[in-house]
Structure 1
Amino acid sequence: MTLLPDLTNFNAELEAGTTILAVAKAAGVQHVVYSTTVPVPETEPDHFAALAFKPKLMLEKALPEAGFPRWTILRPGFFMPNYLSPKVNAQFPGAAEEGLFTTGFRPTSMLPMVDHEDIGKFAVAAFQQPDRFHAQGIDVISQAVTVEQSMETMRRVLGRPEIRARYLDGEELRAAQATNPVLIMHELLGRVDPYAGVDPREAVEKWGVEMTTFEEFIVRERKDFDETYRNV
């Protein structure tokens, strides 16, 4: 089960998830794998991020109590496809046209990056080894890199020196967040310490799932990267 937040109606995600779990239980589903989100720092209850992530946290609490024989929670980080069209247009408006990534992250912010296919690998592994993955909450992070490292990797692998980041801060960031809530998420994710300094590959090694580096992701998706940044 994976659900996208409805930024115009935060309760919609909770309602949908609750319905899915109820239908699955009635149908006799034996194992539920729920993909949520990497933990983020706590904020005030009425903060945009708190409201956006609350449904996921509530569903995480509801799943173990729903009575399924087996359940697994996967918590993926910042999606690598956010650098590809069409997602890049929402995450970093203008980046596809100019190569300039305007962001609420800091240069040294550690991005808990995840390849969407790695999430799928974990889901498959959970269904193939249900007893081992039962009652587990797993942070699925393919690689943790700084924002500047992600920029450097794209410049080098794609051969596009124009790619760079513009870091908003202070009043400029507050003003931009008023019209682009994605920047609020950037600021919060930038405060996450993935695995507290532990190499995420080591942290997930015990599960036997091979993870993808950002460079490997770019190479694999090179055609889409070239198409996304064809005007840069």
Structure 2
Amino acid sequence: MSQQNTILVTAANGNVGSSLSRQLLDQGFNVNALVRNTESKIARDLEKRGAKIFKGDFDDFSSLQKASEGIWGVFINSNPIPGTLDELRHNTSIIKAAKEAGAKFGVYMSVMMAERKDEFPGLSPQHESYKYWESKHGTEKALQEAGFEHWTILRPGMFISNFFGPIASFLWPTLQKQHVILSPLAPTVTQPLIDTDDVAKYAAAAFADPNTFHGLAIDVASEEVTLENFAKLITDIVGVEVTVEHISIEEAARRGVTSRIAGWHSWIRALNYRIDYERLQKFPIKSATVAEYLKKNKASVAEFLSA
């Protein structure tokens, strides 16, 4: 790879960003890794692998400019900040810095259904999730209109890791300590799940083959799984018994479960939304099943559930 194939990976200390950085380095790309903490274990590991580490602050445009110098592509991935449009503002700054630096290709990690947020029943500016969806949709539009030679949008379903990390306390508050998944959803409802490593695989494939992936918005997941089947897989593979308790939306709210879970699935039903798994088979990516993810991460999942 020549210097023109340098990729700026934002949020390179995160699950997707760090995985993408490693994959790009393995494929011979140069990587500018933007992180908040340059002394973190992930940053040090990426540096040892050959990445250039940049300390960045999405509110400090000059730090984005510095990290963007000499890049050919950019992976856009700032974190949502509840109740604000900061994610949109940060992503717009990333796009601007990359474009000014001469980048030719932008890849953005959005979320499934972002392009259809205006069809969501009841999603008004007063809704608690409005700014989240506005940020996702707004960034997609900003990328498409930025003038890059190539752009790709990835819209993943739910990360499997969301059940076993910091966000789990928000989404599934009784899973870690009580080993119970409280669900305001019907037992037949499925979750479109994906490993963050596989989202990174799609991004890496796009950078490696920009002509094939140019102008595509791809909804990505590995499979649809009911929560009962998910709990059984954890029980069988990890060896920690997990159960599911189906409760009303009102009871879920009283027990600390965010209303966003039920809201998200109500919009899926209202829009009759389905991920096109047949389409995904046309791309050169083999996504891990939930069972494969749990086998690969058995030790860390067990540690999480025993904390």
Task: Give, in whole Å, the separation in 1 of the partners of 2:273 and 2:134.
Answer: 22
Give the CA deviation at 1:60.
Answer: 0.8
Q: Identify the match of residue 109 of structure 2 among 13, 35, 38.
A: 35
Where does the alignment leave 5 or more consecutive residues of structure 1 unmatched? none
1:164 equivalenced with 2:243 (yes/no): yes
Give the CA deviation at 1:89.
Answer: 2.3
Give the CA deviation at 1:102.
Answer: 1.9
Where does the alignment leave 5 or more consecutive residues of structure 2 unmatched? 1-75
Task: Give, in whole Å, the separation in 2 of the partners of 1:86 and 1:58.
Answer: 26
Match of 1:126 in 2: 206
1:6 equivalenced with 2:81 (yes/no): yes
1:85 aligns to what SS in structure 2?
coil
Match of 1:96 in 2: 176
Kindly provide the amino acid, as one letter, of the partner of residue 130 in structure 1: P
Identity fraction in percent: 28
1:182-204 C-alpha deviation (Å, 9 max, x unpaired): 62221133343696386x2x331
Give the CA deviation at 1:49.
Answer: 2.1
Q: Identify the match of residue 303 of structure 2 among 223, 227, 231.
A: 227
Task: Give, in whole Å, the separation in 2 of the partners of 1:197 and 1:64.
Answer: 22
Q: TM-score, normalised by structure 1?
A: 0.88
Task: Give, in whole Å, the separation in 1 of the partners of 2:197 and 2:136.
Answer: 21
Alignment map for 1:126-165 (pairs within 5 Å): 126-161=206-241, 163-165=242-244
Match of 2:153 in 1: 73
Task: Give, in whole Å, the separation in 2 of the partners of 1:4 and 1:126.
Answer: 22
Task: Give, in whole Å, the separation in 1 of the partners of 2:249 and 2:296.
Answer: 37
Give the CA deviation at 1:171.
Answer: 2.9
Asked if structure 1 preserves the Cα contact closer than 8 Å seen for 2:182 and 2:252, the reply is no
Task: Give, in whole Å, the separation in 2 of the partners of 1:197 and 1:138.
Answer: 9
Give the CA deviation at 1:155.
Answer: 1.4
Quickly say closer, same or farther: Cα 1:108–1:3, change in 2 above 3 A: farther
1:206 equivalenced with 2:285 (yes/no): no
Asked if structure 2 preserves the Cα contact closer than 8 Å seen for 1:36 and 1:56, the reply is yes
How well do the aligned residues superpose, as a CA RMSD in angstroms?
A: 2.1
Task: Give, in whole Å, the separation in 2 of the partners of 1:47 and 1:87.
Answer: 21
2:306 aligns to what SS in structure 1?
coil
Kindly provide the amino acid, as one letter, of the partner of residue 71 in structure 1: W
Q: Identify the match of residue 259 of structure 2 among 151, 172, 184.
A: 184
Task: Give, in whole Å, the separation in 2 of the partners of 1:185 and 1:25.
Answer: 34
Quickly say closer, same or farther: Cα 1:151–1:189, change in 2 above 3 A: farther
Task: Give, in whole Å, the separation in 2 of the partners of 1:11 and 1:211.
Answer: 32
Match of 2:95 in 1: 21
Task: Give, in whole Å, the separation in 2 of the partners of 1:97 and 1:65.
Answer: 46
Quickly say closer, same or farther: Cα 1:150–1:221, change in 2 above 3 A: same
- Rg comparison, structure with higher value: 2
Q: Identify the match of residue 162 of structure 2 among 60, 82, 86.
A: 82
1:54 aligns to what SS in structure 2?
helix
Quickly say closer, same or farther: Cα 1:29–1:48, change in 2 above 3 A: same
